Structure 1
Amino acid sequence: MLNHIRPAVVMIALFTGVLGVAYPLAVTGVAQAAFPGQANGSLMRDKAGQVVGSALVGQSFAQPGYLHPRPSAAGKGYDAAASSGSNLGPLNPDLIARVKAEADALRAETGKAVIPADAVTTSASGLDPHISPAYAELQVARIASARGVGEAQVREVIRQHEEGRTFGVLGQPRVNVLLTNMALDARFPRPAEG
């Protein structure tokens, strides 16, 4: 029996050492050397060096001088510990009522009849850091008014942060909300708290 147990214990120890310790350390070391920003979560810092968020995780911006992200169903909103979609089907009356209320509020705010889908629907994770260029454009007038600058200036900052399709064919054009809001703060004074 000892002849069967000893090789099993040796194999467990060997594979634990190789696959549980050496391989993760090697991958982490390569990632830290080649892509330190991405390996550490793509954290974004303000001028004072304080972390303000990750370029990969959506967060709430409610002030009028900022791009607003798409709605979140993660926990109580943008909770990375509770990442998930709403799990409500397209015919669910609660989902229909929420989307209608948010679309009506945006129509009243902007005077536009057509509202981009990502302005009123959550992403699968509830933490999508991007919005569509159409949703960003819908917010230009509000941001410009809150910051006391021209719409063309706000539009220019947004366009500078518009990302195209990945590899030219995957996904849709998008705007990273956090990066754009940081650029707005850098270019124009931070809006009053409200």
Structure 2
Amino acid sequence: MRLPSWLSQHLAALRAVLVLTVLLGLAYPLALVAVGRIPGLDGRAGGSLVAVGGRTVGSSLIGQSFTDADGDPVPRYFQSRPSAAGDGYDPTATAASNLGPESVVDTITGDDETSSRSLLTQVCARSLAIGDLDGVDGRRPYCTPDGVGAVLAVFRADGLTGKITRVVSVNQVAPATPFVTTWQGVPVEPARPGRDYVAEGGLITPVRGDAPAQPAVPADAVTAGGSGLDPHISPAYAEIQVVRVARERGADPAAVRRLVEEHTAGRSLGFLGEPAVNVLELNLALDREYPAR
């Protein structure tokens, strides 16, 4: 007896669902779980967790902060790069800040909750703080001495041209002293909260300043990665932290540099990416060899 076409079509669809469910819903996941249990791969499949004394302290694949309860860097540890993932290194909120090179003007409302800092000011503030922490020159081009973006709003008589009539340091709020006193003969005034100097017709003018072209604080120390979960820093960032960490632990800087080298991974396949230092693994090695005094 031949089944009606509509019924045969439904039965064929049901058989396909059952077969695909068994293959893709059961067999394939179980096969991947089995592969993840192969010696040498089991640690990676479990998240590359790192344990000390039977207690999990982190993952070698996910960065973390080495700060105290107030959010200040703990001097005896190497510091990670900044993170924009949630409150920092949050795997459930992995993301970048979405701020780009044109983010140079802060939003200043007078209220910390509604104000926001531009990418330039974030970079300037981080560089200045790292310079103070590690005893290096924290100056960067286009940054003021007080750690904000060195940006002026220049007003001209005819909009884009004509005589300069007014100049405002848009990221320095009164009563702050502007980073330059005059601009082309016109006094520079500090910004006022709640003012949008771009909307008012000011021409945004970043000022390079006299900072060195190659800052002592490397780029990865002041910018967050795309994922916000980076477990590595550059050897250059590790190098400027060596003296501080050695001093805090009473260790020889040469010995600390040796540990940095031991925890530095080279380029993938010899040519992809850049050398990188795993911060968690390096700090754990320091705790083993040079415990906190």
Tell me the TM-score normalized by structure 2.
0.63
Extract unaligned runs of 5+ from structure 1.
none
From 45, 53, 58, give the equivalent of 1:53: 58
The Cα shift of 1:104 comes to: 1.5
Any residues of structure 2 matched to 1:11-160 within 5 Å, and which? 11-34=16-39, 35-46=41-52, 48-62=53-67, 63-93=74-104, 94-109=118-133, 110-112=135-137, 113-160=215-262
Unaligned stretches of 5+ in structure 2?
1-5, 68-73, 105-117, 138-214
> Could you tell me which amino acid in structure 2 is paired with residue 49 of structure 1?
G
CA contact (8 A) 2:96 2:226 kept: yes
Q: Give CA deviations for 1:106-137 in whole Å, capped at 9, x if unaligned.
A: 22332235211000000000000000000000
Q: Percent identity?
A: 47
Please state whether the residue corresponding to 1:139 is helix, strand or coil: helix
Structure having the higher strand fraction is 2
Once superposed, which parts of structure 1, at least 4 consecutive aligned residues long, lie more than 6 Å away? none
What secondary structure sits across from 1:90 in the alignment?
coil
Deviation at 1:140, TM superposition (A): 0.6
Q: Distance in 2 between matches of 1:50 and 1:8?
A: 50
**What amino acid sits opposite 2:82 in the alignment?**
P
Over the aligned positions, Cα root-mean-square deviation in angstroms equals 1.2
How far, CA to CA, are the matches of 1:60 and 1:108 in structure 2?
18
- Which stretch shows the higher mean deviation, 167-176 or 106-115? 106-115
Q: Measure, in 2, the Cα distance between the counterparts of 1:32 and 1:118.
A: 35
Of 3-12 and 149-158, more deviation after overlay is shown by 149-158
The alpha-carbon deviation at position 156 of structure 1 amounts to: 1.1
More helix by share: 1
C-alpha separation between the residues in 1 aligned to 2:130 and 2:55? 33
**Aligned AA (2:36):** A
The number of aligned residues is 190
